[in-house]
Amino acid sequence: MKYYTAEELAYVTGGILNKVEDVKVCKLYPPLLADEETLALALNEEEIANLSETKAKIAIVPLGAAPDNITTIEVERPRLAMMKLLTMFYVPPTTGEGIHPTAVVYPTAKLGQNVSLGPNVVVAEGAEIGDNTKILANAYIGEDVKVGKDCLFHAGVNIGKNTIIGDRVIINHGASIGADGFSFVTETPDNIENAKKDGEIKETNKQQVVYKIPSLGGVKIGNDVEIGANACIDKGTIEYTQIGDQTKIDDLVMIGHNCKIGNACMIVSQSGIAGSCVIGDRVVIAGQAGLADHLTIGNDSIIMAQAGVSKSFPEKSIIVGAPAVPRKEFIRQLQTMKKAEQLIKKFQAYEKVLNAEVENNEG
């Protein structure tokens, strides 16, 4: 277990050190869970208040929030400082050295220097694994897959044929990259096609046959991407499904075939992106949002949680609701509903008077 001094912690975070005494720490915890060997993380008002009861001798706090009775490091961006500290204290998973005896590497596969393959890993024909990449137990690397340098694939990852993965990519437990796309066609127009054309479902062909459209493309993932546990990214029909550099994908996200996701996007858990969507750079898609197929979302847009997106939006859009609309439109709709509620209440208040007046006129 490694210990760090207050001076080292201040240097890493770029914070202002207010030193009361010499300290060394080996752990990170909130103030109420901290002991004398812990750096207390007091990054909000509640945790700052809890410093009065902490056993820690040092805390990291926002700029201007340092109490006098404890050594502190003041930082301008607490969340950024927390990232630096967690990276500093992080212990990577044990991967072992070299190739585990139960791993299977096909003769035509190529492994770079210092590659680590855990138990039951399979590296198929024609696959290439870059230097220093570590692949944990029970992962499958398909035919002709190309994996870059310094990657980490956790247990149970499945990488399908023709996938290209850049450098420093992290793929978490159970993710599926490069499965066939959800792509089918019928002999005659089906209910979906009729509904799109006519706005209604008329005749139904009960003998309709559904044919699978094979996926001959692949998936291309850029550098410094992270993909969460049990996320799924389907390969393209003919071309590549693409994920740009620095994009971060949460657990349980679904990205359909032929999608093109830009750089530095954040896609949050349980979001679903249907096939052939184009997502610009630095787009945030919040939890449980759903996007229909063949949409374009411009750069620097934000799709709010549980939005149901059925049309394209330009850059810098803030997209809300189901069906999704721009944020200003959504607020206007809420205001209209509020005004309508007030009008209904006023009408109800005068309803008896109006009814009596109508009865008098009819009499």
Catalytic residues: 257
Question: CB within 8 A of 65, min separation 6: which ones?
Answer: 42, 48, 74
Does the pLDDT at position 363 exceed 70? no
pLDDT tens for each residue of 268-277:
999 999 999 9
Query: What's the CA gap between 278 and 285, in Å, rounded?
Result: 13
Higher pLDDT, 143 or 355: 143
Question: How many C-beta atoms lie closer than 10 Å to residue 141's C-beta?
Answer: 28
Which is the CATH superfamily of the domain at 4-89?
A: MurE/MurF, N-terminal domain (3.40.1390.10)
**Cα→Cα distances 345→119, 333, 352, Å:** 69, 18, 13
Fold classification of 104-325 (topology level): UDP N-Acetylglucosamine Acyltransferase; domain 1 (2.160.10)
pLDDT tens for each residue of 158-209:
999 999 999 999 999 999 999 999 999 988 888 888 788 788 887 777 888 8
Does the pLDDT at position 19 exceed 80? yes
What is the average per-residue pLDDT within 280-287? 98
Tokens of 91: 């212990």
Higher pLDDT, 1 or 215: 215
Sign of CA dihedral 90, 153, 151, 258: negative
What is the average per-residue pLDDT within 298-314? 97
Among 111-120, 170-179, 192-201, 255-264, name the one with the lowest average pLDDT. Answer: 192-201
What is the average per-residue pLDDT within 5-29? 93
What is the average per-residue pLDDT within 51-61? 94
Q: Which pLDDT score, from 0 to 100, does residue 358 have?
A: 67
3-state secondary structure of 328: helix
| Global confidence as pTM | 0.84
Does the pLDDT at position 132 exceed 80? yes
CA angle, 71 as apex, 5 and 12 as ends, to 5°? 40
3-state secondary structure of 19: coil
pLDDT tens for each residue of 319-361:
999 898 988 888 888 788 788 888 787 777 777 777 766 667 7
Does the pLDDT at position 285 exceed 90? yes
Q: Note the Cα 110 to chain centre separation in Å.
A: 31
Q: Average pLDDT over the chain, rounded to whole? A: 92
Q: Which pLDDT score, from 0 to 100, does residue 362 have?
A: 67
pLDDT tens for each residue of 62-75:
999 988 889 999 99
What is the average per-residue pLDDT within 101-129? 97
Q: What are the boundaries of each domain within the chain? A: 4-89, 104-325, 333-363
